[in-house]
Amino acid sequence: MLMTVGLILLAVGGLVSLWRQLQMLQQNSYFPSRYYGWMKESYVFEVTAECFAFCLAAFLYEKALALLIAAAVLLAVRLILAVSQHRKSIKKLVVTGRVKRLYGAAILVFALLVAGYALADGQTQMILRMLIAMFGLVTPLTALFAWLLTKPIESTFTAYYIRDAKRILKEHSGITVIGVTGSYGKTTTKFILQRLLDEKFNVVTTPHSFNTPMGVVRTIRGDIKPETQIFICEMGAKKTGDIKEICDIVHPDHGIITSVGPQHLDTFHSVDNVFATKFELYDAVTQKGGKLFANAESAGIAERVAKCPKALLFGGDSECRAENVTCGREGSSFDLVLFGERVPVKTRLLGAHAVNDIVAAASLAKALGVSAEEIRFAVSALKPTEHRLEMKSWQKGSVLIDDAYNANPEGCLAAVEVLGSFEGMVKTIITPGLIELGTKEYECNFNLGAKAAEVCDEIILVGKNRSKPLHEGALSKGFDEAHIHVVSSFAEAMQVYLPTVSPNHVVLLENDLPDNYLN
């Protein structure tokens, strides 16, 4: 009896820990291979601990009371861990129908094993006990077993959802589908395109960065209404054939390829394969006689497009490009050149990438009949993402560029370049530098300091110890030390800086960190 209760506790503990496993399985799009990759990288310690616990349980298999106590303690620990991990995770487990079914399958397995254990005896009972201990302790196995059990049901569901989405699009006569793909910039381009097309059409977009076949199917089934005229579909790819798979569902009329770069090389194996996959969109679009725009500024695309007679280029010196780009207190200003027509625009979006994304969206919008005036207004109404090169008017009429959420080295350098493009203004950077970059941390911060020295008038560093590399980087470029201010907190930075600002000041707030990092 004690043994049975102990085993049930083990099983319940297993179900508790399953939460995190399913979260990871879900975030790896339910691909066991990707999930295994995650385990290999981030879960080795836990797996070892689980196997160790399993051995212990095996050792304890005759001693019912010890097992019961161990299982109870383990359950308590796992509960605490699961709750704290759940709270901490940025991308939490979304309890979808599928997650419920996976849980159901796991519960069913445990219930059958425990019932079997209670009824069986001898050798069989011992094997069942081992199985309960195994599934209760080594939860990745439980997750994978539940995945295997539910797979046939899921395939049926998936097939039905895809068929239903295809039916909706087919019955929706007159809807225009636009595919947006690329290694970088596809989400931003998608949202800019939506705003531009909003001037003339009823547009539905895949939300957030939904870009998998099921994400697309969900949008079609949930958001497309009878009045919808355009569906913009972001298409993500992690391996060859992924774009074609989405194209076979939505049959895009037009497309944009924002960039092709060395992303997901572990699954693509080569950049050539990335090109081939992104250009699956070209094949789909040409079948329907539509337009495909590809970014001339992304390395290798122009050469590739030369082999695709029907593809059009944007950016660079192609037919659709930005000219006379300047940056000032009103944001970016430039001339959109679209098929020979010149449209002067202003936007609060900053940086070369944003300009390029606007060119991409405007090219297609123009081709679909949005007028130059409408494009001018829509571009002026674009909203930046919060804390990503977000331009704000600030104290005493000065300008603040809030790039607090930027924590990647190239992004930070690009932000400093944006600051540099504010011609004729007094430029200040406030930053604690970058963290969690391992062996490259010193180098990245040094480079950031050096870059800041090239463009800034004042450098305010937050955190005495951790900003040393930045300090050294700035000095290496011969920056006047009198204009470097080291402070201990963001609040102190404000005290140093605020009294000096005037309308002619522009301040870049770069990678603002929580105060616990500062010392």
Partner 1 sequence: MKTNIAVLYGCRSVEHEVSIISAVQAMRSINREKYDVTPIYVTKSGEMYTGEMMFAIESYRDTEKLMREADPVCLIRTGDSVVVRFLNQKAFHKKADIPVNVAFPIVHGTNCEDGTVAGLLEYLNLPYVGCDVLSAAVGMDKVVFKNVLENAGLPVLPCVSFRAREYVLEKERITAEVMEKVGLPAIVKPVNLGSSVGITKAKTPEELDDAISLAVSFSDKVLVEHAVTALREINCSVLGDPDSCEASVCEEPFMHDEILSYKDKYLGNADKSGASKGMASLGRKIPADLTAEKTEEIRKLACDIFRATGSSGVVRIDFMIDTETDKVYANEINTIPGSLAFYLWEATGLSYTDMIDRLIEIAFRRQRNRDNMTFTIDTNILSGVSFGTKGSKGSKM
Residues lying near partner 1 in the complex (CB under 8 A) are found at 168, 171-172, 195, 198, 200, 202-203, 225-227, 381
Nearest approach, Cβ of residue 158 and partner 1 (Å): 23
What is the chain's alpha carbon radius of gyration, rounded to the nearest angstrom? 28
Nearer to partner 1, 202 or 273 (CB): 202
Nearer to partner 1, 362 or 459 (CB): 362
Nearer to partner 1, 202 or 395 (CB): 202
* Dihedral angle sign, alpha carbons of residues 376, 380, 385, 390: positive
Nearer to partner 1, 195 or 427 (CB): 195
Nearer to partner 1, 381 or 491 (CB): 381
Helix ranges (H only) for 323-371 are 352-367
Nearest approach, Cβ of residue 305 and partner 1 (Å): 33
Contacts of 212 (CB under 8 A, 6+ apart): 29, 236, 246
Nearest approach, Cβ of residue 178 and partner 1 (Å): 17
Nearer to partner 1, 81 or 169 (CB): 169
Nearer to partner 1, 195 or 353 (CB): 195
Q: Which long-range contacts (CB under 8 A, 24 or more apart) does 334-338 make?
A: 336/362, 336/375, 336/379, 338/362, 338/363, 338/366, 338/372, 338/375
Nearest approach, Cβ of residue 172 and partner 1 (Å): 5
Nearest approach, Cβ of residue 380 and partner 1 (Å): 12
Three-state DSSP class for residue 234: strand
Give the length of the chain: 519
Nearer to partner 1, 162 or 429 (CB): 162
Q: Torsion angle of alpha carbons 263, 266, 271, 273, nearest 10°?
A: -110
Nearer to partner 1, 178 or 450 (CB): 178
Q: Which long-range contacts (CB under 8 A, 24 or more apart) does 85-91 make?
A: 85/20, 86/19, 86/20, 86/23, 89/23, 91/23, 91/27
DSSP secondary structure letter of residue 304 = H
Nearest approach, Cβ of residue 296 and partner 1 (Å): 30
Nearest approach, Cβ of residue 115 and partner 1 (Å): 42
The H or E element containing residue 38 is helix 32-42
CA distance 310 to 282: 9
Q: Torsion angle of alpha carbons 261, 265, 271, 277, nearest 10°?
A: -90
Nearer to partner 1, 385 or 476 (CB): 385
Nearer to partner 1, 109 or 375 (CB): 375
- Largest Cα separation within the chain, whole Å, is 87
Count Cα atoms within 13 angstroms, Cβ side, for 16: 21
Tell me how far apart the terminal alpha carbons of the chain are, to the nearest angstrom. 56
Contacts of 85 (CB under 8 A, 6+ apart): 20
Nearest approach, Cβ of residue 202 and partner 1 (Å): 5
Nearest approach, Cβ of residue 225 and partner 1 (Å): 6
Nearer to partner 1, 165 or 453 (CB): 165
Contacts of 94 (CB under 8 A, 6+ apart): 26
Nearest approach, Cβ of residue 272 and partner 1 (Å): 41
Q: Which residue bears the tokens 């932000």?
A: 415
Pairing of strands 505-510, 292-295: unpaired
Nearest approach, Cβ of residue 365 and partner 1 (Å): 14
Nearest approach, Cβ of residue 171 and partner 1 (Å): 6
Q: What is the DSSP string of 380-417?
A: HT--PPTTSSEEEE-GGG-EEEEETT---HHHHHHHHH
